[in-house]
Chains A and B, each alone.
Chain A
């Protein structure tokens, strides 16, 4: 079944999964937006502007970083190649665009993040599916009975682990009681995602390593987890004082 899935969504078709995840995620977020005191229109607008910022920022900043290559062929700026893209810069641009739009429209930060959480959780599912389809984010070689044949070795099916973790996170977020203080839903999502990455990264065969063989993604996930837990507790305490 996994082979058929990988064949059907082989790159570059795997990106369809990401687009579908955005579409489903937005629909789900829209359904519950008003529960968080955010209008459907405001939610859609902040999502669309951020996505636009992601696409344009990712390409423009990549071009700026490779100015000599683009100056020799300026039309490459409009190429449909997804590889002419800097995902980190794209993410930063999307965050800035979303933040500026939210400020301009006077959207409450924590409620907006809570309203967007189903979109984030669905995106995480979509991302794990694209990893499965493309064979990226692959596991280290293993002898476990559920190992998956990939890249000429039997490996931990890290993409499947990632998919299960993201489905579990989505379920916990979707069915969380709606009486939590503002921001806790988003912070719970952040903590669960960071926690699962911290755990699952150990089974990856493509980790970026730092000094001493430590996995960079685990360190970032641990810091994110600590921030999410600390912020969540701080919001709960403040809620009690108020």
Chain B
């Protein structure tokens, strides 16, 4: 191709590209559909209502205004077991600043008799919720354990961490970011 023709072609490409930027600007100012509940960063955390080990009922949407860490776990999952003590440590450090930890046990695929001994052995003080039907796991499209969701005061998921065990620094940086 002749250099002059190539220069014209390049100029046309850049002009069309510039026009495309103008045309495809998102005038709403919010490109992520924050109001749709979905288990992904930038979306509203799907609501759930579950019973705890002590028989209370906890609904996620009732905790709006607080920073919530939702951790999906099972007793048979080694990385889930490994990260519990770290979560407990961080919970004790930040609970006075408004951190709530909801550890949701995947009871429908766990041994129900193994849960209480494990919680006692680890000395866990945050609420342990029981997903007996798999409804919560379905809403959160669970594919790997552990899965953790860091939810801001507005109910929007700030960060999703799939897999574990989560390092102490990871928990600290994420929680401090949201608490700010």
* Complex interface: chain A residues within 8 A of B39 (CB): 151
Q: A72 is contacted by which of B30, B166, B172 (Cβ under 8 Å)?
A: B172
Is A37 part of the binding interface, using a Cβ–Cβ cutoff of 8 Å? Answer: no
Is A152 part of the binding interface, using a Cβ–Cβ cutoff of 8 Å? Answer: yes
Is B27 part of the binding interface, using a Cβ–Cβ cutoff of 8 Å? Answer: yes
Task: For residue A10, give the distance in angstroms from its CB to the closest CB of chain B.
Answer: 4
Task: For residue A187, give the distance in angstroms from its CB to the closest CB of chain B.
Answer: 12
CA of A65 to CA of B64, assembled, Å: 30
**Closest residue of chain B to A230, judged by CB?**
B10
**Residue from B159, B169, B170, B173 having most chain A Cβ neighbours under 10 A:** B169
Is B120 part of the binding interface, using a Cβ–Cβ cutoff of 8 Å? Answer: no
* Complex interface: chain A residues within 8 A of B159 (CB): 83
CA of A198 to CA of B21, assembled, Å: 8
A153 touches B32 (CB 8 A): no
Q: Mark B20-35, 1 if CB is under 8 A from A, else 0.
A: 1111111111111100
Is A214 part of the binding interface, using a Cβ–Cβ cutoff of 8 Å? Answer: yes
CA of A52 to CA of B39, assembled, Å: 33
A207 touches B26 (CB 8 A): yes
**Closest residue of chain B to A236, judged by CB?**
B3
* Complex interface: chain B residues within 8 A of A151 (CB): 33, 36, 38-40, 43
Please give the number of chain B residues whose Cβ is less than 8 angstroms from any Cβ of chain A in the complex. 44
A201 touches B24 (CB 8 A): yes
**Closest residue of chain B to A11, judged by CB?**
B162
B32 touches A206 (CB 8 A): yes
**Closest residue of chain B to A71, judged by CB?**
B169
* Complex interface: chain A residues within 8 A of B25 (CB): 212-215
Q: A233 is contacted by which of B6, B20, B21 (Cβ under 8 Å)?
A: B6
Could you write out 24 A-B pairs with CB less than 8 Å apart?
A11-B163, A13-B144, A66-B173, A69-B173, A72-B169, A76-B168, A79-B167, A151-B33, A151-B39, A152-B43, A198-B17, A198-B21, A199-B20, A204-B31, A213-B25, A213-B29, A214-B21, A218-B20, A222-B14, A222-B17, A222-B18, A226-B14, A233-B3, A236-B3
B residues apposed to A, CB below 8 Å: 3, 6-7, 10, 13-14, 17-18, 20-33, 36-40, 42-43, 143-144, 159, 161-164, 166-170, 172-173, 176
